Amino acid sequence: MICEALSDQMPAVARGDVVWDAEEALHFAQCAECRDEYALVAAVLSSARPAPVLDLDRIAAAVSAVGREEGKVVAIASRRRTWTRGLVGLAAAAGIALVAYSIRTDDPVAVAAVPARTTTAIPELDALLEDELKIVLASLTEEQKTLTPGPIPRLGELTEAELDALLDDVEG
């Protein structure tokens, strides 16, 4: 069994990565089988092709660049998903606001008093006119309309580009 244990270590010993412990060294000195095998391993290593000269830092930089590039794609994709979820949430919130708005405008007394822009429960929607709220609502699929709206994204958290995209969506 100790022959096998030594055999397992021979490449590492021949390379100088490990050294025999006392028991292994004693066995090695007395076992012709192990010495023959070690002679083979050492001969193969010494006659092996010299390691090619590689610029590992250049390789690492290139690998990192690919990771950065493709990591960015992943980040954008997941951000887009978040953004879509945000829009759905916002649109769902708009639906709720519009319903609330409609209920209020059903009151004949209120109709005359309600200005074109009214205050809603969602500050970001306050700036939208009724028609604009309807557009947002119309952008919801049936499935989305039945969703319970999650946390409403704050427009202040969106980037300028995302705000532009939202405005394009709302304004057509």
Partner 1 sequence: MTSLAADLPNDPDLVAAWRQGDEFAATQLVRRHGAALGRYLSSGGADSGDVEDLVQETFIRAFRSLHGWRQDGSFRGWLFRIASNLLKDGFRARRGRQMVALEDHDLVASADPASQFAADETAERIQAGIAALPRLQREVFLLRVEQGLEYAEIATALDTTPGAARVHYHHAVRRLKELVQ
Residues that bind partner 1 (CB under 8 A): 7, 9-12, 14-21, 24, 36-37, 39-41, 43-52, 54-60, 62-64, 66-68, 70-71
Give the one entry of partner 1, Zn ion, none that residue 125 binds, where binding means its C-beta sits below a cut-off of 5 to 8 angstroms depending on kind: none
Query: Which does residue 3 bind out of Zn ion, partner 1, none, counting CB within 5 to 8 angstroms by kind?
Result: Zn ion
170 lies in the binding site for Zn ion (CB under 5 A):
no
CA distances from 32 to 3, 36, 37, 38 (A): 10, 6, 9, 10
Q: Is 10 in the site for Zn ion (CB under 5 A)?
A: no
Which partner from the list Zn ion, partner 1, none does 34 bind, CB cut-off 5 to 8 Å by kind?
A: Zn ion
Q: In whole angstroms, what is the distance from residue 152 CA to residue 124 CA? A: 10
Q: Which does 77 bind (CB under 5 to 8 A by kind): partner 1, Zn ion, none?
A: none
Min separation Cβ 56 and partner 1, Å: 5
- Cα 171 to Cα 103, 123, 168: the distances in Å are 24, 18, 5
The residue among 11 and 149 lying less far from partner 1, judged by its C-beta, is 11
Q: Whose structure tokens read 């639906």?
A: 95
Q: How far is the CB of 60 from partner 1 (least distance, A)?
A: 4
From residue 82, give the alpha-carbon distance in Å to each of 18, 45, 92, 103.
Answer: 52, 55, 15, 31
Residue 49: which of partner 1, Zn ion, none does it interact with, CB under 5 to 8 A by kind?
partner 1
Cα atoms in the 13 Å half-sphere on the side-chain side of 19: 2
5 lies in the binding site for Zn ion (CB under 5 A): no
CB 100 within 8 A of CB 119: no
- Give, for 136, the enclosing helix (H) or strand (E): helix 130-138
Residues numbered 24-63 forming contacts with Zn ion, rule: CB under 5 A: 31, 33-34
Q: Does 94 sit near Zn ion (CB under 5 A)?
A: no
CB closer to partner 1 out of 23 and 164: 23
Structure tokens at 93: 């919130």
